[in-house]
Amino acid sequence: MDQLMAGAYTFLPLGFRVLKKIEEIIKKNMVEAGGQEILMPVLHPKENWEKTGRWQNLDILFKLKGSGHKDYALGPTHEEVVSPLAKKLVLSYKDLPFAVFQIQTKFRDELRVKSGILRTREFLMKDLYSFHATLEDLANYYEKIKKTYFNIFKEIGIGKDTYLTFASGGSFSKYSHEFQMLTDAGEDIIYICNKCKTAVNKEIKHETPVCPSCSSDSFVEKKAVEVGNIFTLGTKFSLPFDLKFKDKDGNLQPVLMGCYGIGLPRVMGAVVEASHDEKGIVWPKNIAPFLVHLISIENSDKVKRVAEKTYNNLLKEGVQVLYDDRDDKSAGEKFADADLIGIPFRVVVSEKTLAKNSVEVKERGKKTAKLAKLKDLVKIIKL
Ligand SMILES: [Zn+2]
Secondary structure letter of residue 92 according to DSSP = B
If you measure from the C-alpha of residue 168 to the centroid of ligand 1, how many angstroms do you get, rounded to a whole number? 17
What pLDDT is attached to residue 119?
Answer: 79
Q: Are 288 and 300 in contact (CB under 8 A)?
A: no
If you measure from the C-alpha of residue 138 to the centroid of ligand 1, how many angstroms do you get, rounded to a whole number? 24
For residue 97, whether the previous peptide bond is cis, meaning omega lies within 30 degrees of 0, is yes
> Coil, strand, or helix at residue 114?
coil
Question: Alpha-carbon distance 228 to 259, whole Å?
Answer: 11
Question: Looking at the predicted structure, is the pLDDT value of residue 240 above 70?
Answer: yes
If you measure from the C-alpha of residue 164 to the centroid of ligand 1, how many angstroms do you get, rounded to a whole number? 11
| Confidence band, pLDDT 50/70/90 cuts, at residue 130 | very high
What pLDDT is attached to residue 171?
Answer: 59
Question: Looking at the predicted structure, is the pLDDT value of residue 86 above 70?
Answer: yes
If you measure from the C-alpha of residue 217 to the centroid of ligand 1, how many angstroms do you get, rounded to a whole number? 8
For residue range 151-184, list pLDDT tens digits in order: 999 999 999 999 999 998 865 678 999 999 999 8
Question: Looking at the predicted structure, is the pLDDT value of residue 355 above 90?
Answer: yes
State the chain's mean pLDDT as an integer. 94
Q: Average pLDDT, stretch 13-21?
A: 98
If you measure from the C-alpha of residue 208 to the centroid of ligand 1, how many angstroms do you get, rounded to a whole number? 12
If you measure from the C-alpha of residue 219 to the centroid of ligand 1, how many angstroms do you get, rounded to a whole number? 8
If you measure from the C-alpha of residue 355 to the centroid of ligand 1, how many angstroms do you get, rounded to a whole number? 59
Question: Looking at the predicted structure, is the pLDDT value of residue 115 above 70?
Answer: no
If you measure from the C-alpha of residue 197 to the centroid of ligand 1, how many angstroms do you get, rounded to a whole number? 6
Residues with CB under 5 A from ligand 1 (ion): 193, 195-196, 211, 213-214, 216
Question: Looking at the predicted structure, is the pLDDT value of residue 323 above 90?
Answer: yes
Distance of CA 200 to the CA centre of its chain: 21
Strands 2-5 and 276-277: unpaired
Amino acid in position 14: L
Question: Looking at the predicted structure, is the pLDDT value of residue 324 above 80?
Answer: yes
Question: Alpha-carbon distance 246 to 94, whole Å?
Answer: 9
More confident residue, 166 or 383: 166
More confident residue, 113 or 18: 18
Q: What is the DSSP string of 253-313?
A: EEPEEEEEEEEHHHHHHHHHHHSEETTEE---GGG-S-SEEEEE-S--HHHHHHHHHHHHH
Instruction: Give the least confident one: 191-195, 264-268, 365-369, 379-383.
Output: 379-383
Question: Looking at the predicted structure, is the pLDDT value of residue 117 above 90?
Answer: no
If you measure from the C-alpha of residue 218 to the centroid of ligand 1, how many angstroms do you get, rounded to a whole number? 8
What pLDDT is attached to residue 32?
Answer: 98
If you measure from the C-alpha of residue 213 to the centroid of ligand 1, how many angstroms do you get, rounded to a whole number? 5
If you measure from the C-alpha of residue 221 to the centroid of ligand 1, how many angstroms do you get, rounded to a whole number? 14
Enter the pTM of the model. Answer: 0.95
What pLDDT is attached to residue 207?
Answer: 85
Nearest CA to 79 out of 174, 170, 202, 179 is that of 170
Percent with pLDDT over 90 in the chain? 88
Q: Average pLDDT, stretch 298-324?
A: 94
If you measure from the C-alpha of residue 176 to the centroid of ligand 1, how many angstroms do you get, rounded to a whole number? 16
| Confidence band, pLDDT 50/70/90 cuts, at residue 92 | very high
If you measure from the C-alpha of residue 214 to the centroid of ligand 1, how many angstroms do you get, rounded to a whole number? 4
Q: Are 123 and 106 in contact (CB under 8 A)?
A: yes
Q: Are 193 and 213 in contact (CB under 8 A)?
A: yes
For residue range 278-296, list pLDDT tens digits in order: 999 999 999 999 999 999 9
Q: What are the residue ranges of helices labelled H in the chain?
A: 13-32, 46-51, 54-57, 79-89, 135-156, 202-207, 264-274, 301-316, 331-341, 351-355, 377-382
